Structure 1
């Protein structure tokens, strides 16, 4: 699927928090990793090149430093397109902090201009020396909309590439109950997610499971993902109901912020 994982860095610890996730994926798949440093002034290139080369050597990756006087997102996309089968994997913000909503201005610009999904990770101010676990499950939240389901082909291929399992989830918001102890809509929602999981398994040849969650999707999905311990997310930036808000999608943004795992995402 992907032969190279391209990780843009800017010299900040926040931006480099994607590196352990990228290298863990590379170990599982045999892909190479390239750390990309972009500078706007050629006078800064030598120092930046030395820094990215040392950081890359420490993780067995390639270090690349380029001068680009335009938008950083354009340079990232151009480098990704230069080498076929490249996955862009970047932190949602780097040196500038939380720039544009949750996604960060550069990550969001790359997403807007890319025809392929990208892998995004929300950095945490709390650093951890714990090793990144091998991804065993890819959680795919669906709500019945074409928008939310447009990520399914990429998520299924990503799961096959990683040797992981797809877990289809849907979320029921609190609502009046049909009978004591029976949440309204559970039967219909279970039928939907079970059917989608079965279809994905048959169509893409990947192992699947499914779950119906309860509560606010922006809380229920991250909580479920954290409980698994070996999962990542795959979801579009908006869909129906709770998954359709603003450019980045409030549910996707909340999951990116709260789940603490990489998110494979694309615009629908």
Structure 2
């Protein structure tokens, strides 16, 4: 499924936190790993033509160090039987990583959400955010202190929101689950005015008495029952489709704040990987669902697979 994995590094131990996850995936996928580091410009200037690209100036003194650094990691990968290449890029970080992904024909970009210490933490975090907003390829994101995957991915959590866009994650979930023979949990969190998250009985049809009264007062009994029923139906349909493909799949239904529901469920089931799309419903909800992905990334120390729907 992932034949070429691009791994941006910056020379820091924080950025290297992604390495164990890449090693594990590459060995299972027999994938090629492309290690890249970006030499950032020290300054840039603009010509009078506003449509002309800016001209960058670089400090080339660190280029040899960067090449040697990438070569050391390449050798470490090759000693494990993993095909690895290196790619040194010059330019703004996010643009250079995207260019490297295109040049390497990467199927996946794997990166930590923070790099060097101090102010560069914020910058490297913004690199992950920039990739999340601009790249079309799947992203594997980890926080620097995320526990390394030293065993197989045994349990994948896949949150969905009922939209076609959120279903874009399912082929990736299916592929990884088959690769690791993993259990899959599909999760639907119905957004409610109640900030507290709680699980609902997914096996039973919804009736008026099962929906919390304070919601009925505000939105109407029939509307809430219909909304929960549609959410239940959608997640069960997706569960059954994956089961028909031979996967071990369960489905959970919750209500409350999506980020809280995802984080709680990931901890409860000890998910080895959380897989979701970076955008859900159309319109303003795209921004909201994107914030769900960002919220999960900021709150949980588990690998996150993000896919941007076409």
TM-score, reference length from structure 1: 0.80
Change (3 A) 1:222 1:161: same
1:11 to 1:215, Cα distance in 2 relative to 1, 3 A: same
In the TM superposition, 1:105-254 aligns within 5 A as: 105-124=126-145, 132-173=150-191, 178-179=208-209, 189-202=231-244, 206-240=247-281, 244=285, 246=287, 249-254=290-295
- CA shift, 1:131, in A, is 5.3
Unaligned residue ranges in structure 1 (runs of 5+): none
Cα pair 1:5 1:87 within 8 Å, conserved: yes
Count of aligned pairs? 259
Q: CA deviation at 1:53?
A: 2.6
Greater Cα radius of gyration, structure 1 or 2: 2
Structure 2 CA distance, aligned partners of 1:192 and 1:245?
Answer: 19
What residue is the counterpart of 1:97 in the other structure? 121
Q: CA deviation at 1:247?
A: 7.7
For residue 93 of structure 1, report the CA deviation from its aligned partner: 2.6
CA offset at residue 34 of structure 1? 3.2
**1:215 Cα deviation from its structure 2 partner:** 3.4
Check conservation: 1:5, 1:86, Cα contact below 8 A: yes
Cα distance change of structure 1 residues 180 and 71 upon mapping to structure 2, 3 Å threshold: closer
Is the Cα contact below 8 Å between 2:6 and 2:104 reproduced in 1?
Answer: no
Q: CA deviation at 1:245?
A: 6.2
Report the alpha carbon displacement of residue 169 of structure 1 after superposing the two structures with TM: 0.7
* Residue of structure 1 in register with 2:102 after alignment: 81
Q: Equivalent residue of 1:12, what SS? A: coil
For residue 6 of structure 2, give the secondary structure of its aligned residue in structure 1: strand
Q: Distance in 2 between matches of 1:245 and 1:38?
A: 30
Contact kept, 8 Å, 1:133 with 1:230, in 2: the verdict is no
Counterpart position of 2:88: 66
Q: Counterpart of 2:219?
A: none
Hey, what's the Cα distance between the residues in 1 that align with 2:85 and 2:4? 13
Q: 1:198 Cα deviation (Å)?
A: 1.0
- SS of 1:45's equivalent in the other structure is helix
